[in-house]
Chains A and B, each alone.
Chain A
């Protein structure tokens, strides 16, 4: 048993310590907005915030997340109000299939926290998520819009 603090709530879960945080979130905590794409920290579909840092949750053991503040896509909106990145995503009609978008949005949230007005080069360096549908054109426009919101 270990305890994870996810979106402000403590969850005591029965999980082996070396289980990837991704699967603990999806299967034990029950939050499936965080997606599995590769399991080897390549694609970014599983990105969550750990103490505010964008983290590929497939590559972090659940036990390493104990005592830290985990934010998933489900915890991004503040009550009914969407986060400005989510709103920009809607305004720019970014998602196609949408499967990669939770991870990309979380990566962008972290980027804007550290770099409130990112340049294109900042975006290129920080956002390395795979999107097989190819939503990068709209995503870039939405990132700039969120930065200016």
Chain B
């Protein structure tokens, strides 16, 4: 049986203005609810049409600046054939999704998957709604639906010229059985999707009205500040609550789990001030002596061929071919820990009673936040709820729910009182889920003709999956470590080398790793693309021509590489004093390339004049927002290249704020030209892929300018900075 859901929006959507007899059309794209569990997670999407023709499109994925909210709405609206100027969006809640057996599919927003893994069912959602609205109008007129067409929220009976609007027929449409398998438009016929439309969420972000987790206000709410043992894995030994109990506004001092202490006060500033005055003694545990040097040493040992390693990509006989090579070239690269440093520090607000636990938070994974709420509250799922707020940046950090757990545990101490937990920037720096650190040893072998016959890459370092998603390991192997270096899949190596070996000596220090915008392609693109440059120079070959020779079987990689080469004018010399570098990669299903023009003063002051980027994501749902993702991600990626490093001393992260963990400003922003070149036939990601080619393009240009090859990040450690 196909079932049409009918929701009372007021019950399920926080802050939804329930105006008049708004109604919900159940886009049960033909899903038998009784079987919903079996076919989860991809089920259907939802459209609400109000009597005034306003369309509310429900978005399960999270908006954190990347534009997914607008892009997904465009895809639904395209098939719905509605009036774009009347589109609004709503977040369904994870709790309601759980209770209704996941009608909105996955909520998770990471891995540049927001659109590419949901475009089909959200478009079908829009298409099914349109067909039902048309059918309802046709029924009212007593004509076949096939004689009617829909456009701009208006249904027209072509023969008679009669028209009606979606709002007028929505009631009747909602009662119809959804069509089984609504056909989708050919993307070349798109009029809303594929267009460079403005974002839907901009105005409130310019007036201060947008509500982030940090801004949640509830009646009677208290505020909490927290400090977790800065040595990862350490615990609280003791704390002296009496020392701060009398401070103004302080309500309570709470042990959170066994590793953190929170102060709850009437305002956050008072809570944080008391926390700063609170004596806490830590049991720092087994990791108290770990340093960056000890971690680097351990990783360095993993570069030895004799150390066991997981093979990520292999063809031919790389070791044999290297032994026979006429010439070999070898280099070792390294990449540090980095913090996400989202602009908005981690926070969550929780309200716990014995009967209900509610959480308000910015999360990239509403369902994980919900599961964490259930686990931490001690209540069954039907008594829990999470209300997603706008994220002040995510970049992967907010896929974790550690701060949700803390907020719920604190709220449990004060039943019936909402408590907003905000991390100080210092806590955010010290309790990150850090971009993992790795090193790589690369060896290339040439025959007497200068052709590359063998490439061997040994990666040594930390696995993210081993820490965060051990169930995703393949017999212990973390394939994500090889992103951009695999033989196939959505992050494949763009070169054919007759003898190839890429392997990974997994070494997991105690510092908790996380998915950090771009994740493992950030370092892997530097490793492979800078080393390709080294190989070209070592054999007197032009770097672009050298790459092209190895890319004959990789036309999509070659297309983006050629696009940036052409745009930057690679075949003509740059201006006096300007030097170029180039790089390409594949990540998250998209093909990306960049070419940089820089000048260097005093051998160490870099001015990036131009960065040309090309992205082929298959389909471009909103080219204007893709351009912004490319330009924006370069700020994130180049900040990481120039400044980004978290060092470890005494088992803890040394950096504590933006004074020691710097980020680019507008003065350092290069001119970015983003070429969006969707070639069709596949769906790649957008938020992350292109980030990884900025750094190697700049590093290769730096070599051309100075003759110095930089093999470790960040540049500040080598006294290289922005001009």
**B-binding residues in A (CB < 8 A):** 16, 19-20, 23, 27-28, 30-40, 42-43, 45, 72-74, 76-77, 82, 86, 89-90, 93-102, 105, 123-125, 127-140
Contacts and interface: CB of A to CB of B under 8 A. Distances in A.
A141 B666 CA distance: 12
Given A95-B205, A127-B665, A42 B659 contact: yes
B390 A93 contact: no
A72 B665 contact: no
Contacts of B341: 132
B348 to A, nearest CB: 15
Given A23-B267, A23-B268, A93-B199, A16 B64 contact: no
Given A36-B422, A137-B671, 6 more contacts: A34-B208, A42-B659, A98-B201, A136-B665, A137-B669, A138-B628
Contact of A33 (B208, B632, B657): B208
Interface residues of B, number: 61
Interface string B660-699: 0001111101011000000000000000000000000000
Chain B at the A interface: SS class: loop
A77 B207 contact: yes
Contacts of A73: 207-208
Contacts of A33: 207-209
A76 B625 CA distance: 27
Of A30, A93, A124, chain B has the most CB atoms within 10 Å of the CB of A93
A35 B268 contact: no
Interface in B609-648: 624-625, 628, 631-636, 639
Nearest to B667: A124
A140 B392 contact: no
B377 interface: no
Contacts of B204: 98
Given A93-B199, A93-B628, A134 B208 contact: no
A131 B343 contact: yes
Q: Which 8 residue pairs of A and B lie closest in terms of their CB atoms, listed nearest first?
A: A33-B208, A134-B635, A98-B205, A99-B392, A97-B65, A96-B65, A134-B632, A124-B667
A86 B359 CA distance: 32
Given A102-B208, A130-B658, A140-B669, A93 B343 contact: no
A70 B633 CA distance: 34
Contact of A133 (B267, B343, B390): B343
Given A20-B269, A23-B269, A99-B343, A89 B202 contact: yes
B344 A35 contact: yes
B67 A96 contact: yes
A96 B632 contact: yes
A90 B203 contact: yes
Contacts of B425: 36-40
B636 A132 contact: yes
Interface stretch (B210-218, B324-332, B478-486): B210-218
Nearest to A27: B267
B708 interface: no
Contacts of A134: 631-636, 664, 669
Of B209, B345, B392, chain A has the most CB atoms within 10 Å of the CB of B392
A108 B92 CA distance: 36
A98 B392 contact: yes
Contacts of B342: 97, 99, 132
A95 B206 contact: yes
